[in-house]
Amino acid sequence: MKYVRLIIVTIIFCLIFTSCSTVGSGQTDYFGFKTSVFTVVDETDTHEGFFGDGSYYLILDCSEETEQAKELIKEWKALPLTENLQIIMYGGEKDGVSYGYNLAEEAHWPTITNGVYKFVDRQSKADDKSDDTNLFNRYSYNFSVAVYDLDTNTLYYFEFDT
């Protein structure tokens, strides 16, 4: 009987902790872009398990609401991405270390030359959430990055958690 109670309590805790995630499914606001306002083109969430590791990408067509989209991106940074973001998203080498993530391919990002981006470091030890300087100085990644293509009025949003 003790074991049955222990199993039931364990299952309840697992359900509670895995259902409390604010990443991916259930979230509707991505850097101010609401999925109820813009058209969802593609979306995939691979976050699984107790720790919530995985990735999430969202592609939004903003062509019907360009004025609202342009208001949301007015303080974003102009492309190109920083060296660190370029390496983490497309792969490359830095300080003799090769990074083969190519997260842009996973997120279905095309090559965008005319656009703006926003980065948020969701790592708990990040001093400045908008700074990617220490991205490669950690054991895990927890960040969100988005690129807005000014030519197609499309938002490409990506979250990565390890």
Identify whether the C-beta of residue 155 lies closer than 8 Å to the C-beta of residue 146.
Answer: yes
Closest CA to 69 of 43, 32, 109: 32
Closest CA to 156 of 90, 83, 67, 93: 90
Distance, in Å, from the CA atom of 92 to the CA atom of 11, rounded to the nearest integer, reads 42
Distance, in Å, from the CA atom of 43 to the CA atom of 59, rounded to the nearest integer, reads 6
Distance, in Å, from the CA atom of 103 to the CA atom of 97, rounded to the nearest integer, reads 17
pLDDT in tens, 51-74: 778 999 999 999 999 999 999 999
Structure token digits, residue 56: 């999430």
* pLDDT band (50, 70, 90) for residue 135: confident
Question: Domain segments of the chain: what residues?
Answer: 22-161
pTM for this entry: 0.80
pLDDT in tens, 104-123: 999 999 999 999 999 999 98
131, 40, 160, 18 alpha-carbon torsion, rounded to 10°: 120
Identify whether the C-beta of residue 61 lies closer than 8 Å to the C-beta of residue 39.
Answer: yes
Residue 8: what pLDDT? 54
